[in-house]
Amino acid sequence: MTRYETVIGLEVHAQLKTKSKIFCACSTQFGADPNENVCPVCSGMPGVLPVLNRKVVEYAAKMGLAIDCEINRKSVFARKNYFYPDLPKGYQTSQFELPICEHGHVDIVTGKGPKRIGVTRIHMEEDAGKNIHSAHDNASFVDLNRACVPLIEIVSEPDMRSAEEAVAYLKAIRSILVYLDICDGNMEEGSFRCDANVSVRPFGQEAFGTRAELKNLNSFKHVQKAIDYEVERQIDLVEDGEAVVQETRLYDANKGTTHSMRGKEEAHDYRYFPCPDLVPLVLEEAWLDQWKSELPELPKAREQRFISQYGLSADASEVLTSERDMAEYFEAAVAAFNEPKKIANWLMTDILRELNQTGGRAADLKLTPQNLATLVRLVEQGAISAKSAKDILPELLETGAEPEALVKAKGLVQISDTSALEADVDAVLAENPKELADYRAGKTKLMGFFVGQIMRRTKGQANPAVVNQLLAEKLK
Ligand code: ADP
Ligand code: MG
Ligand code: ZN
């Protein structure tokens, strides 16, 4: 048992899904040619003036409302000064002393139960450009397409006590952003990024230990592994009587380790000051009322509704609502065939497995929710066996074929019609008088033999449940 407690605080950067950048009219389109989406404002030409994008304010405030923040009616943009080639202005326009949102919280659930994680603040800022180092050209290039793309930074309180809690918090934040439709939440592509501040302290000690800030965490798995490694490293240091130094450390996904990127001595003094080019932002009550009224149903609320409305278990409900498109897929399928638990079952087993393997999303599935509903209906109505349904699922997922057409083409239609099967049952009994006599004399195990013969006669198309029922009646 470790004598140390882990303390974690997270800084999340979410790229907002606006059409244009935060301070100019350039497009935020991903995948454009280098420097295609650039103007004098976002390339930092002298003499230009920024104009704040109203959508950015709306999205930042909506995130604040969604996680119960106080929304500051007045907030201020500030310059964060540092030099780097991908930052042509020489400062990042951000918010510092008066951010747009403060004092929110997010509720998470882990193996240890429910817990509330504090959110210190949310502020708006611009992204930087990108340096591209080319060995081929023996040169470095700067692409400013991403410069001035809007971000919100969501800073948590140091409230998390394990990597598991950190990941649960991140998943909750990501899910809310995606539900609000203000961020696409793609960690690999970097539209949802996170830095983890990690420290350890002996249990019972009130003062926090010195923290390291971990960067380069571009999947939930990396967050988990980087924190676990870092905690071990810090505990080893403390146990050896050495000090943890405050520094920024990079996670190396190949090695599963962290290494120092820059120490406190090299840490920037950002010389923050209010941006003289942007007046303080004052929010009108009417805007806030409007934004509040536009908030969609959020993941936690939907999770509760799935439990009460569809009778799903808490686990199923959580799995099906954490991704917005999965929740919508489920509801579309249920609308087409009202068997929520059966549909949930298919989604949580075979289909989720497929999505995990391909890294795909519910919204990209070729099997439409309506077609999944049809498949479930065919099984429920006895038109095909559950086994046949499982057998054709891979093809349905791959091709998007209509289940009914595929079932026909493959000759999987079950015979469930009692009058049609009765003839087969009678024939089998008539063909096997000895077995029939033995059965009647008490060898009831022969039931399986009769079922087998009937299945053979019908080339496996008889509905076994109906066959069993018919046989039971005839053999009485
Ligand atoms: P900075 O400006 O250097 O990033 P902040 O005070 O804004 O520092 O803190 C950044 C993050 O670090 C916050 O999420 C906060 O909760 C977390 N944090 C602060 N102190 C600690 C600590 N001792 N251990 C773990 N996390 C911490
Ligand atoms: Mg920081
Ligand atoms: Zn521009």
pLDDT in tens, 206-221: 999 999 999 989 999 9
Amino acid at 39: C
Judged against a pLDDT cut of 70, whether residue 22 lies above it is answered with: yes
Element (H, E) at 291: helix 285-294
- Give the contacts of 415 (CB within 8 A, at least 6 positions apart): 421, 458, 461, 462, 463, 466
Note the pLDDT of residue 131.
94
The angle that helices 324-336 and 314-322 make with each other, rounded to 10 degrees, is: 110
Confidence of residue 407 (pLDDT cuts 50, 70, 90): confident
User: Per the confidence metrics, is the pTM higher than 0.95?
Assistant: no
Residues 92-109 have a mean pLDDT of: 97
Note the pLDDT of residue 266.
64
What's the per-residue H, E or C state across 182-239?
CCCCCCCCCCEEEEEEEEEEECCCCCCCCCEEEEEECCHHHHHHHHHHHHHHHHHHHH
Residue with tokens 């405050």: 246
Domains of the chain from N-terminus onward: 4-288 (no CATH), 297-409 (no CATH), 418-474 (1.10.10.410)
CB 180 within 8 A of CB 297: no
- Determine what percent of the chain is predicted with pLDDT higher than 70: 99
d(CA 401, CA 379): 17
CB 377 within 8 A of CB 371: no
Which ligand neighbours the alpha carbon of 244 most closely?
1
Strand ranges, E, within 256-362: 257-263, 273-274, 281-282
Residues 390-413 have a mean pLDDT of: 88
> Per-residue pLDDT tens for 248-257?
999 999 999 9
Measured from the CB, is residue 454 less than 6 Å from ligand 1? no
Range from 102-106, 171-175, 270-274, 412-416 carrying the lowest mean pLDDT: 412-416
For residue 11, how far is its CA from the centre of ligand 2 (angstroms)? Answer: 7
Residues 450-475 have a mean pLDDT of: 85
Confidence of residue 51 (pLDDT cuts 50, 70, 90): very high
For residue 26, how far is its CA from the centre of ligand 2 (angstroms)? Answer: 28
Judged against a pLDDT cut of 90, whether residue 66 lies above it is answered with: yes
Judged against a pLDDT cut of 90, whether residue 58 lies above it is answered with: yes
CB 91 within 8 A of CB 80: yes
d(CA 1, CA 4): 9
Measured from the CB, is residue 5 less than 6 Å from ligand 1? no
**Torsion, Cα of 317, 322, 326, 329 (10° steps):** 50
Judged against a pLDDT cut of 60, whether residue 306 lies above it is answered with: yes
Nearest CA to ligand 1 atom 8: 197
Nearest CA to ligand 1 atom 7: 155
- 263 CB-side CA count, 13 A: 3
Judged against a pLDDT cut of 60, whether residue 354 lies above it is answered with: yes
Confidence of residue 237 (pLDDT cuts 50, 70, 90): very high
> Per-residue pLDDT tens for 106-130?
999 999 999 999 999 999 999 999 9
Judged against a pLDDT cut of 90, whether residue 476 lies above it is answered with: no
For residue 372, how far is its CA from the centre of ligand 1 (angstroms)? Answer: 46
Note the pLDDT of residue 411.
79
Residue with tokens 């203000």: 182
Element (H, E) at 142: strand 139-143
Measured from the CB, is residue 199 less than 6 Å from ligand 1? yes
Q: How far apart are the first and last CA of the chain?
A: 65
Measured from the CB, is residue 248 less than 6 Å from ligand 1? no
Note the pLDDT of residue 469.
87
Measured from the CB, is residue 154 less than 6 Å from ligand 1? no
Nearest CA to ligand 1 atom 13: 9
Residues 353-380 have a mean pLDDT of: 91
Task: Indicate the average pLDDT of the chain.
Answer: 93
Note the pLDDT of residue 410.
80
Residues 92-111 have a mean pLDDT of: 96
- Determine what percent of the chain is predicted with pLDDT higher than 90: 77
Judged against a pLDDT cut of 90, whether residue 265 lies above it is answered with: no
d(CA 93, CA 127): 9
What's the per-residue H, E or C state across 401-437?
CCHHHHHHHCCCCCECCHHHHHHHHHHHHHHCHHHHH
Note the pLDDT of residue 1.
57
Q: What is the DSSP letter of 371?
A: H
Q: Which of 226, 229, 224 is nearest to 164 (CA)?
A: 224
Alpha-helical segments (H) within 2-154: 54-66
Measured from the CB, is residue 208 less than 6 Å from ligand 1? yes
Note the pLDDT of residue 143.
96
Note the pLDDT of residue 264.
64
CB 51 within 8 A of CB 24: yes
Judged against a pLDDT cut of 90, whether residue 5 lies above it is answered with: yes
Note the pLDDT of residue 31.
85
d(CA 250, CA 234): 15
CB 273 within 8 A of CB 301: no
Measured from the CB, is residue 157 less than 6 Å from ligand 1? yes
Judged against a pLDDT cut of 70, whether residue 185 lies above it is answered with: yes
Note the pLDDT of residue 56.
98
> Per-residue pLDDT tens for 222-233?
999 999 999 999
The angle that helices 54-66 and 285-294 make with each other, rounded to 10 degrees, is: 60
